[in-house]
Structure 1
Amino acid sequence: MEPLKTNTHIWDKNNSWSEELEFLKSIIAKTELIETTKWGGCVYVLNGKNVIGIGGFKNYFTIWFFNGVFLKDEKQVLMNAQEGVTKSLRQWRFSSKDEVDEKAVLQYIHEAIENEKQGKNLKPEKEKSIVSELLQKELDADVNLAEAFLKFSPYKQKEFLEYIETAKREETKRSRIEKIKPLILENISLNDKYR
């Protein structure tokens, strides 16, 4: 009988950090955080809110702070894993167990817990509504078209609006409106015609 294969993830391809991750877990166990499994990884929560996570990558193992952007980072150890993409998450990377200073790690974790208790977190930016004055004029002029458009979910309405408003020239916008009017009237969403 074959042994069961362990489930590996992109962030845990080689499972070569098991001893180091267990060491991080033993440090985190000294806090009030509760260990959970999310996205196939070890995430620690406070009142259901993600505070930190740990994981092993090819060249390092890490502790990440979901709202690390609010940490003082006096030791200058935190980094943004994807500059320009990741807004609040910060990582503290290690390449050996010897690099893990338990006292410092606990200090950062306690600060993250305190920040969570104070409600310090970045709220996701709300998407701006897309408005198409040209389509609105068509809807105002044709009650059947307006009723048909309102039958679509907000998501599908947004697809139509994006399709129109991504055109740069007004004449292209008008031609796109003419293309989608029959779809709207037949209750066919923009992307359904490609399915």
Structure 2
Amino acid sequence: MSKTNPQVDAYFKSLKHWRDELEELRAIALDRDLTEELKWRSPCYTVEGKNVAILGGFKEFCTISFFKGALLKDHKGLLDKPGKNSRAARLIRFTSVGEIVRLRPAIEACLREAIAAERAGLKVEVDQGAALELPAELVARFDESPALRTAFEALTPGRQRGYAMHFAAAKQSKTRTARIEKYEPRILQGKGFHDCTCGLTKSRPAATALTTR
């Protein structure tokens, strides 16, 4: 079994919900000899420095997510997309320890496949030609601001998709509109959703982004 990470130990001590379930998932991951780290405020399991799986606790369930889950065979039909636009990641939801214990062989099989995929350097093939679905609120804003439409269309396909996914992820129209208004200046600057604007780093939009998932 792999060694536990002190930062993750502290994470579990602070948990108010799903502690037993996530501890069970943690034990399964550690049995696979993965390295335990704390990333994006969650227990993350890596092999040779590459992300394999991450645990998460939500209001109605807890999860184990596989970064390249689209590559897994999923014979039991357990893996779901985190969102409708998810391409690589897949997750399994749980609501009890008993459920995790019952599905342990399937979870272990997924971990073995995920580890093998990382060690082999496999990548999820993405259809770059797939049509990009834009939220209606963004299309409406384009009609109001041709300059925004021009700037958006000048972005790389990956940057366009990043914005579209972020805007569409909001459940309410007013939230989608608020997100569009917030990021409009960045789009007009030709910046992507994760591009730096603070001048200190090239990897994230600002230091505060490092604290959000």
Q: CA deviation at 1:120?
A: 1.4
Tell me the alpha carbon deviations over residues 20-78 of structure 1, each in whole angstroms, 9 at most, x when there is no partner. Answer: 11111111111121000011111101111110011111111110000000000000000
Check the 8 A contact 2:87/2:126 in 1, yes or no.
no
TM (normalized to structure 1)?
Answer: 0.56
Once the two structures are TM-superposed, the CA of residue 123 in structure 1 deviates from its matched residue by 7.0
- How do residues 2-151 of structure 1 correspond to structure 2 at under 5 angstroms? 15-83=16-84, 85-100=85-100, 101-122=103-124
Going from structure 1 to structure 2, the CA distance change for 1:93 and 1:163 (only over 3 Å counts) comes to closer
SS of equivalent residue, structure 2 residue 82: coil
**Considering only aligned residues, what root-mean-square deviation do their CA atoms show, in Å?**
3.0
CA deviation after TM superposition for structure 1 residue 109, in Å:
0.5
Query: 1:135: which partner in 2?
Result: none
Residue identity in the other structure for 2:42: G
Checking the alignment, whether the CA contact within 8 Å between 1:15 and 1:56 is kept in structure 2 is no
Contact 2:64 2:92 in 1 (8 A): yes
The total of aligned residue pairs comes to: 124
Give the SS at the match of 1:29. Answer: helix
* In structure 1, distance between residues paired with 2:106 and 2:76: 9
Structure whose CA Rg is larger:
1
Percent of aligned positions with the same letter in both sequences? 33
Work out the CA distance in 1 between the residues paired with 2:94 and 2:149. Answer: 49
CA, structure 1 residues 49+124, in 2 after alignment: closer, same or farther (shift >3 Å)? farther
CA deviation string 1:153-178 (max 9, x = no partner)? xxxxxxxxx7693599xxxxxxxxxx
- For 1:54, the aligned partner's letter is L
Deviations 1:136-156 (A, max 9, x none): xxxxxxxxxxxxxxxxxxxxx
TM-score by length of structure 2 reads 0.52
Cα distance in 1 for partners of 2:34, 2:73 equals 20
Distance in 2 of aligned mates of 1:19 and 1:92? 16
Preserved contact between residue 67 and residue 122 of structure 1 (Cα < 8 Å): yes
- Is 1:165 aligned to residue 167 of structure 2? no
Q: How far does residue 121 in structure 1 lie from its aligned partner after superposition? A: 2.0
Closer, same or farther: CA 125–28 of 1 in aligned 2, 3 Å: same
Structure 2 stretches lacking a partner, 5+ long: 1-9, 129-146, 154-187, 190-213
CA positional deviation for 1:15: 3.1
